[in-house]
Amino acid sequence: MSTSVHLLVWPPRRGPIRILGGAAGCLALAALLALSGEALETKEPAPAPEDAAIPWGAMYVPLESMSAHGMTGTFGYYRGPGGVQRLLADLPIARREGIRLILTLGDVRPATYADERGNLDMAKVHQELDPFLALADQLAPFIADGTIWGIRFLDEPHDPGSLPRGVAVNPEHLGQVLALLKDTFGPVRVGSTAPARYMVSVPHADWCCGGYPLRGSDPLAVIREDLALATEKGLSYVASINACTNPVDNRTFFAAYLALAALPEVDFLTSWQWAQGRYPQPCFERRLTDPAVQDLVQAIPLACRRPTAEKETTAP
């Protein structure tokens, strides 16, 4: 997801809904028509140089692969002493390449910290996070210039597969961890990969994440509903489409991805995921490099453009 440096207001809160017109709006229409099997060809002018752009890419992409494919934003996963060293090595590269990072700090699994009722043990939280909290001074310049877009703690706390069925992480307890991150690192967005309907109940949360399967006559309807709630509550929005488990062809996938890029309320666009851990198959990479979708892929950076006059003016 390379972009010009985002200017963000702290804490990040939305102003009036931004209206996206011109080139990006036409691309969104083209993408939505493509989802229904219709074709629309457009030739759009280059974006004005004063425009900014939201980050786009997939989760866990190696930085060298991001540059090769023109992606500008990704999630990094950093845990333990090795994670500390890798983070310190990644940050200068990301800055040089204009890449925005959401840092996953510590184990992503809620069961590492939570009991069977979803209550977080702060002693276990500190055991995981303290090596990163000690880096506050070193991370500060990368927060200030926007290289670090945000910090993530936990994956899917609203519906953790590592806890008993039906148990969610206590939002108040998660808020204590987010407060710890903000107290340590200062003006940086903090959140979890969970939708707005959960994150609006988490104290100190600055962003939420919507990731949904592509199904039904309007596959983006759920994200639009979640986006509306996030906008109402002042949360930044990370939109995601699952590249590994959605049983759709590559053209349908990237038509939806392009349509999400053009939604003016979206602040960061990603996909689960690049090859990682238990899922070594190159899900997003395989789709991204399909010759049949290169017209859509090449249109993504334009759809990600946001006129600077219509965006808030702050910096994390």
Condensed to tens digits (0 to 9), the pLDDT of residues 280-306 reads 566 899 899 999 999 999 999 999 999
Residue 49 maps to a domain? yes
The CA distance from 189 to 178, in Å, is 9
Q: CA torsion sign, 133 to 137 to 140 to 141?
A: negative
2-13 pLDDT, tens digit each: 333 222 333 343
Residue 280 maps to a domain? yes
Contacts of 44 (CB under 8 A, 6+ apart): 22, 23, 26, 27, 302
CB of 263 closer than 8 Å to CB of 221: no
Residue 11 maps to a domain? no
- In this predicted structure, what is the pLDDT of residue 51? 60
Q: Is 82 helix (H, G, I), strand (E, B) or coil?
A: helix
- In this predicted structure, what is the pLDDT of residue 90? 97
Confidence of residue 265 (pLDDT cuts 50, 70, 90): very high
Q: Among the listed ranges 55-59, 89-93, 243-247, which one has the minimum average pLDDT value?
A: 243-247
Q: Is the pLDDT of residue 222 over 70?
A: yes
CA distances from 139 to 43, 215, 237, 256, 292 (A): 42, 40, 23, 34, 40
70-128 pLDDT, tens digit each: 999 999 999 999 999 999 999 999 999 999 999 999 999 999 999 989 999 999 999 99
Q: What percent of the chain has pLDDT over 70?
A: 77
Q: What is the mean pLDDT of residues 6-25?
A: 36
Q: Is the pLDDT of residue 58 over 70?
A: yes
- In this predicted structure, what is the pLDDT of residue 8? 31
- In this predicted structure, what is the pLDDT of residue 203? 98
Q: What is the mean pLDDT of residues 140-166?
A: 94
Q: Is the pLDDT of residue 181 over 90?
A: yes
Q: What is the mean pLDDT of residues 134-156?
A: 97
The CA distance from 25 to 297, in Å, is 16
Residue 315 maps to a domain? no
Confidence of residue 278 (pLDDT cuts 50, 70, 90): low
The CA distance from 167 to 164, in Å, is 6
Residue 305 maps to a domain? no
- In this predicted structure, what is the pLDDT of residue 161? 85
Residue 16 maps to a domain? no
Confidence of residue 279 (pLDDT cuts 50, 70, 90): low
For tokens 């080139």, the residue is 23
- In this predicted structure, what is the pLDDT of residue 276? 58
The CA distance from 273 to 285, in Å, is 9
CB of 193 closer than 8 Å to CB of 152: yes
Domain count for the chain:
1
Q: What is the CATH number of the domain that holds 190?
A: 3.20.20.80
The CA distance from 87 to 77, in Å, is 9
Q: State the Cα torsion 302-306-309-315 to the nearest 10°.
A: -130
Q: Is the pLDDT of residue 173 over 50?
A: yes
Q: Is the pLDDT of residue 27 over 80?
A: no
- Could you list the residue range(s) of the whole structural domain that residue 85 is in? 22-297
- In this predicted structure, what is the pLDDT of residue 22? 43
- In this predicted structure, what is the pLDDT of residue 3? 32
The CA distance from 74 to 100, in Å, is 7
182-194 pLDDT, tens digit each: 999 999 999 999 9
Q: Average model confidence (pLDDT) for the chain?
A: 82
Residue 105 maps to a domain? yes
- In this predicted structure, what is the pLDDT of residue 227? 94
Residue 82 maps to a domain? yes
- In this predicted structure, what is the pLDDT of residue 159? 87
CB of 311 closer than 8 Å to CB of 52: yes
Query: pTM score > 0.85 for this model?
Result: no
Q: What percent of the chain has pLDDT over 90?
A: 64
